[in-house]
């Protein structure tokens, strides 16, 4: 089976940097996804890591270490609109996504 | 380009009543998914279609849930009869056959009273 852990809630200040961690235990997966979900809206794709290392996309970066069973999402220059839930998900061989419970990020002025 | 379309956006029913949700995926996306999302949780896969074939329905409670994708495009998810515990958001997503990236619709928020 697969077990994915994320912090339930985090708070950060506008303009700052925040790191959201995701640890997992699994027998195998193709890649690790991060999705953003605003309250009452659909999850939207942020990033995808297949290989170990850092993937950078503007203000968002995601890191993966398969040997450590660990990923993080890094958000820079935080904006109020970044307040949302951030979902870590493992992608399997059959396009199946297994989601964590999500981390609710609150950005304060 | 239009995204994944779902209707209705909200539905309130009494327990033991039937309910149906509709999804229109992104044009050209062969793969369609139905997820259930409880409050404060991540989405959980209910069923996955490749064209009109259900290739993974292992998490679908088949005693009360059913789904179809007759022409390999639109899909309908049905619950009959609904129970209080079915109150959740039902998300539809689609992807290209060999792509890992899934695109989600806005979901249908179901409340069972």
Cβ of A95 within 8 Å of Cβ of B99? The answer is yes
Please give the mean pLDDT across all residues of chain A: 93
Residue holding tokens 């109020």?
Answer: A80
What is the Cα–Cα distance from B66 to A108, expressed in whole angstroms?
43
Minimal Cβ distance to B104: which of A42, A48, A94: A42
Evaluate if residue B98 carries a pLDDT over 90.
no
**Cis before residue B81, ω within 30 degrees of 0?**
yes
Q: What is the pLDDT of residue B36?
A: 96
Q: What is the pLDDT of residue A1?
A: 57
Q: What is the pLDDT of residue B1?
A: 64
Within its chain, how far is the Cα of A78 from the centroid? 15
pLDDT tens digits for B29-87? 999 999 999 998 999 999 999 999 999 998 999 999 999 998 889 999 999 999 999 99
Q: What is the pLDDT of residue A96?
A: 81
Tell me whether B104 touches chain A (CB under 8 Å). yes
Question: CA of A99: how far to CAs of A5, A23, B22, in Å?
Answer: 10, 12, 23
Cβ of B104 within 8 Å of Cβ of A31? The answer is no
Residue pair A108/B113 in contact by the 8 Å Cβ criterion: no
What is the Cα–Cα distance from B67 to B55, expressed in whole angstroms?
12
Evaluate if residue B16 carries a pLDDT over 90.
yes
Cβ of A89 within 8 Å of Cβ of B42? The answer is yes
* Mean pLDDT in residue range A53-80: 95
For chain A, how big is the Rg over CA atoms in Å?
13
Tell me whether B42 touches chain A (CB under 8 Å). yes
Cβ of B107 within 8 Å of Cβ of A42? The answer is yes
| Closest C-alpha among B47, B2, B32, B104 to residue A46 | B104
Nearest-CA distance from B41 to chain A in Å? Answer: 4
């Amino acid at each position: 089976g697969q077990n994915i852990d994320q912090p339930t809630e985090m708070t950060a200040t506008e303009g700052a940097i925040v790191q959201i961690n995701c640890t997992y235990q699994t027998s195998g997966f193709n890649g690790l996804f991060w999705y953003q979900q605003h309250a009452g809206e659909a999850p939207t794709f942020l990033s995808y890591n297949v290989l170990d290392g850092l993937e950078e996309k503007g203000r968002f970066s995601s890191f993966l270490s398969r040997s450590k069973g660990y990923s993080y999402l890094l958000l820079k220059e935080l904006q109020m609109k970044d307040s949302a839930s951030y979902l870590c998900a493992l992608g399997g061989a059959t396009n199946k996504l297994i989601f964590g419970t999500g981390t609710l990020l609150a950005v304060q002025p | 380009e239009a995204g994944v379309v779902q209707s209705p956006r909200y539905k309130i029913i009494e327990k033991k009543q039937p309910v149906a949700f509709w999804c229109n995926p992104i044009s050209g996306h062969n793969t369609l998914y139905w997820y259930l999302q409880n409050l404060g949780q991540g989405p959980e896969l209910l069923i996955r279609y490749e064209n009109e074939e259900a290739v993974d329905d292992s998490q679908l409670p088949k005693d009360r849930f059913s789904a179809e994708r007759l022409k390999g495009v639109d899909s309908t998810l049905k619950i009959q009869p609904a129970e209080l515990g079915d109150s959740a958001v039902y998300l539809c997503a689609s992807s290209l056959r060999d792509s890992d990236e899934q695109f989600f619709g806005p979901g249908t928020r179901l409340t069972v009273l």
